[in-house]
């Protein structure tokens, strides 16, 4: 037991029962066997920011929804590739889609369906440390498995990439995406049960941009002035190869979180981007396993967030700093017009991520940053037919390593407990009993954040009493739009409201810290037909 934990327990007078859930003492990663690469030794801003290519449809096929309509068909193979993360680092072995990680960006129009064949062309052995004690990764399971989920997409269950539906090299799955949803930045990533953190860490992710006429009419910066920005942290060994830490127990290498010392933007460490002194739109994604990003600009400049996970906000929100949890997206407008000839650095905390080199020559900028974007009609609480209180907890073993993380105190393999009726509205009250913030994601639906409220977790754990410790706090202005991932803060009850529209079938909800998701912090849920 660590000192801090013991003192904490003494002061809080917690009972043994409560010990089950709190966990300041962490399962520590074993020291790296090889020395890791120190990014501070690398030259900054020597590589141009890579822009993932736009995926090209190889043919048009009849739509599963209407065979008279032909829709684009894409084939995106998961492959082992090599990629330069920095000019002075040797090529890194990665898993990507086609020939890159992030993979090609899918671009589509709302209401136009698409077919994607996700082919598994990976090698038969994994190059990252599998923990065979985790669900779905048992020793009898093939090492390499993949299944692709389009995060934020409203899709029939059979095309959602259910974690248990993962498949081995040589196999593929053909998914149909109706794209009946508002313009938004979605992203695709692997979702294989028990090894998802490793597959995504290896590089299996990419973007999908859904556009619509309402958004197009806003005249936001577009074309070469609209830039995708996928941010994530990694660790490398001295040979430039990915390093993923392992815990000390040799049979259970799972670690509860991953924090890398290098931040990558679109696959590069410290890249630069040449920009004109004008407005740009950055479609930003936090694709990290665990790390929450705190983004700001070196010149203290204000930027505007115009959209969140599921599309446009009602109005631009001016920000000096942006907090982005894993899987959250932020649609940002940066205006460089006052900074001609200067260099502006995008930072995460105090550390540089990338550099913008603003050209000297004045340009005319015909794009707009409208003061009103898209209304987000509030779902009334009175519409909710059900409120579910769902705990976010952690089960510790005797050595206080978190053994696994649980949603509502249930394991992945237990029977479904969340089963909203199609088209009904529900409130989910996420009661966080741990000391971490967990970004909670629901598949299929978009939701709104109602509020967050401090409560007494000890009273709840010890005596089962719900006692609030403050007033409900409304979501931040840049969260007050359509979301699919929400920060459930420690010691707080975070309430979200959703209409479960779209399709009946089996989906999942989970924490998007991938280490948590792989270790029980994920549950199946069913959308059921109205009787």
As given in the structure block, the two tokens for residue 315 are 């109005």
Q: Is 510 in the site for ligand C2O (CB under 6 A)?
A: yes
Print the binding letters for residues 301-330 with ligand C2O: x by CB under 6 A, - otherwise: --------------------------x---
Q: Which residues within the stretch 144-163 sit at the binding site for Cu ion (CB under 5 A)?
A: 151
Q: Is 283 in the site for Cu ion (CB under 5 A)?
A: no
- Rounded Cα distance between 239 and 180, Å, is 45
As given in the structure block, the two tokens for residue 356 are 């913008």
Q: Is 189 in the site for ligand C2O (CB under 6 A)?
A: yes
Q: Work out which of 516, 519, 520, 524 binds Cu ion, going by CB under 5 A.
A: 516
E strand map for 5-65: 47-48, 59-63
Number of residues that bind ligand C2O (CB under 6 A): 10
Q: Work out which of 27, 189, 347, 443 binds Cu ion, going by CB under 5 A.
A: 443
- Rounded Cα distance between 325 and 308, Å, is 12
Give which of 388, 399, 105 is closest to 266, Cα–Cα. 105
Local structure of 215: helix, strand or coil: helix
Residue 327 interacts, among Cu ion, ligand C2O, none and using kind-specific CB cut-offs from 5 to 8 Å, with ligand C2O
Give which of 433, 412, 415, 419 is closest to 388, Cα–Cα. 419
- Rounded Cα distance between 39 and 235, Å, is 9
Give which of 303, 360, 313 is closest to 333, Cα–Cα. 303
Of the two residues 355 and 434, which places its CB atom closer to Cu ion in the complex? 434
Of the two residues 89 and 486, which places its CB atom closer to ligand C2O in the complex? 486
Chain position whose Cβ is nearest to ligand C2O = 151
Q: Is 135 in the site for ligand C2O (CB under 6 A)?
A: no
- Rounded Cα distance between 195 and 192, Å, is 6
Q: Work out which of 154, 191, 304, 453 binds ligand C2O, going by CB under 6 A.
A: 191
First to last CA, the chain: 52
Q: Is 283 in the site for ligand C2O (CB under 6 A)?
A: no
Q: Decide the pairing of beta strands 47-48 and 425-432.
A: unpaired
Q: Which residues within the stretch 437-496 sit at the binding site for ligand C2O (CB under 6 A)?
A: 441, 443
Phi, psi of 311 (to 5 degrees): 125, -165
Of the two residues 108 and 355, which places its CB atom closer to ligand C2O in the complex? 108
Residue 189 interacts, among ligand C2O, Cu ion, none and using kind-specific CB cut-offs from 5 to 8 Å, with ligand C2O
Give which of 357, 344, 281, 353 is closest to 316, Cα–Cα. 281
- Rounded Cα distance between 526 and 506, Å, is 4
Of the two residues 163 and 316, which places its CB atom closer to ligand C2O in the complex? 163
The region of 103-111, 295-303, 332-340, 507-515 touching ligand C2O under the rule CB under 6 A is 507-515
Q: Work out which of 155, 293, 333, 511 binds Cu ion, going by CB under 5 A.
A: 511
As given in the structure block, the two tokens for residue 515 are 């280490």
As given in the structure block, the two tokens for residue 327 are 């899987």
To ligand C2O, the closest distance from the beta carbon of 209 in angstroms equals: 16
Of the two residues 64 and 490, which places its CB atom closer to Cu ion in the complex? 490
- Rounded Cα distance between 234 and 202, Å, is 10
Of the two residues 327 and 334, which places its CB atom closer to ligand C2O in the complex? 327
Q: Is 523 in the site for Cu ion (CB under 5 A)?
A: no
| DSSP label of 42 | S
As given in the structure block, the two tokens for residue 326 are 């894993």
- Rounded Cα distance between 275 and 217, Å, is 24
Q: Is 154 in the site for ligand C2O (CB under 6 A)?
A: no
Q: Is 516 in the site for ligand C2O (CB under 6 A)?
A: no
The region of 16-24, 71-79, 108-116, 508-516 touching ligand C2O under the rule CB under 6 A is 508-516
Of the two residues 438 and 510, which places its CB atom closer to ligand C2O in the complex? 510
To ligand C2O, the closest distance from the beta carbon of 202 in angstroms equals: 16
Contacts of 11 (CB under 8 A, 6+ apart): none
Contacts of 217 (CB under 8 A, 6+ apart): none
- Rounded Cα distance between 155 and 443, Å, is 9
Local structure of 457: helix, strand or coil: helix
Residue 488 interacts, among Cu ion, ligand C2O, none and using kind-specific CB cut-offs from 5 to 8 Å, with none
For the four alpha carbons of 461, 427, 419 and 133, in that order, the dihedral sign comes to negative
To ligand C2O, the closest distance from the beta carbon of 441 in angstroms equals: 5
Local structure of 130: helix, strand or coil: coil
To ligand C2O, the closest distance from the beta carbon of 319 in angstroms equals: 24
The region of 78-86, 112-120, 306-314, 504-512 touching ligand C2O under the rule CB under 6 A is 504-512
Q: Is 147 in the site for ligand C2O (CB under 6 A)?
A: no
Q: Is 438 in the site for Cu ion (CB under 5 A)?
A: yes
The region of 246-254, 272-280, 433-441, 474-482 touching Cu ion under the rule CB under 5 A is 433-441
What are the residues binding ligand C2O (CB under 6 A)?
Answer: 149, 151, 189, 191, 327, 441, 443, 508, 510, 512
């Amino acid at each position: 037991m660590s000192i801090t934990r013991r003192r904490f327990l003494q002061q809080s007078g917690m009972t043994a029962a409560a010990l089950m859930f709190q966990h300041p003492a962490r399962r520590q990663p074993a020291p790296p066997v090889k020395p890791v690469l120190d990014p501070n030794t690398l030259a900054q801003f020597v590589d141009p920011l890579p822009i993932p290519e736009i995926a090209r449809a190889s043919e048009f096929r009849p739509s599963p929804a209407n065979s008279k309509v032909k829709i684009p068909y894409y084939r995106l193979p998961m492959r082992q590739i090599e990629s330069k993360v920095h000019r002075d680092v040797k090529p890194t072995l990665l898993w990507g889609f086609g020939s890159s990680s992030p993979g090609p960006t899918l671009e589509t129009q709302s209401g136009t369906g698409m077919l994607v064949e996700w082919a598994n062309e990976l090698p038969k052995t994994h190059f990252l440390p599998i923990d065979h004690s985790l669900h779905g990764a048992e020793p009898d399971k093939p090492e390499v498995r993949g299944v692709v989920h389009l995060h934020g997409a409203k899709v029939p269950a059979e095309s959602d990439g259910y974690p248990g539906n993962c498949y081995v090299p040589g196999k593929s799955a053909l998914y149909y995406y109706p794209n009946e949803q508002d313009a938004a930045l979605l992203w695709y990533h692997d979702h294989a049960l028990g090894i998802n953190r490793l597959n995504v860490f290896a590089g299996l992710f990419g973007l999908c941009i859904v556009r619509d006429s309402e958004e197009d009419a806003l005249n936001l910066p577009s074309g070469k002035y609209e830039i995708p920005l996928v941010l994530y942290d990694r660790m490398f060994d001295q040979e430039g190869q990915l390093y993923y830490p392992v815990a000390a127990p040799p049979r259970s290498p799972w670690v509860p979180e991953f924090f890398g010392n290098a931040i990558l933007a679109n696959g590069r460490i410290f890249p630069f981007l040449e920009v004109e002194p004008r407005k740009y739109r950055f479609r930003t994604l936090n694709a990290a396993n665990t790390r929450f990003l705190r983004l700001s600009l070196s010149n203290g400049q204000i930027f505007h967030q115009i959209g969140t996970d599921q599309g446009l906000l009602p109005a631009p929100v001016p920000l000096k700093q942006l907090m982005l949890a894993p899987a959250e997206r932020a649609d940002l407008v940066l205006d460089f017009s006052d900074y001609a000839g200067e260099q502006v650095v995008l930072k995460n905390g105090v550390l540089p991520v990338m550099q913008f080199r603003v050209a000297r020559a004045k340009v005319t900028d015909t794009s707009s940053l409208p003061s009103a974007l898209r209304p987000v009609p509030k779902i009334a609480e009175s519409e909710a037919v059900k409120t579910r209180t769902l705990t976010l907890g952690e089960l510790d073993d005797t050595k206080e390593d978190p053994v696994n993380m649980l949603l509502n105190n249930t394991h992945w393999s237990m029977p479904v407990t969340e089963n909203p009726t199609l088209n009904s509205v529900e409130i989910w009250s996420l009661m966080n009993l741990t000391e971490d913030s967990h970004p909670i994601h629901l598949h299929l639906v978009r939701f709104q954040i109602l509020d967050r409220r401090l409560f007494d977790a000890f009273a709840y754990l010890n005596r089962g009493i719900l006692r609030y410790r403050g007033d409900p706090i409304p979501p931040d202005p840049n969260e007050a739009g359509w979301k699919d991932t929400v920060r459930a803060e420690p010691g707080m009850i975070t309430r979200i409201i959703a209409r479960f529209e779209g399709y009946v079938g089996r989906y999942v909800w989970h924490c998007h810290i991938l280490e948590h998701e792989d270790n029980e912090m994920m549950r199946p849920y069913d959308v059921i037909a109205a009787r």
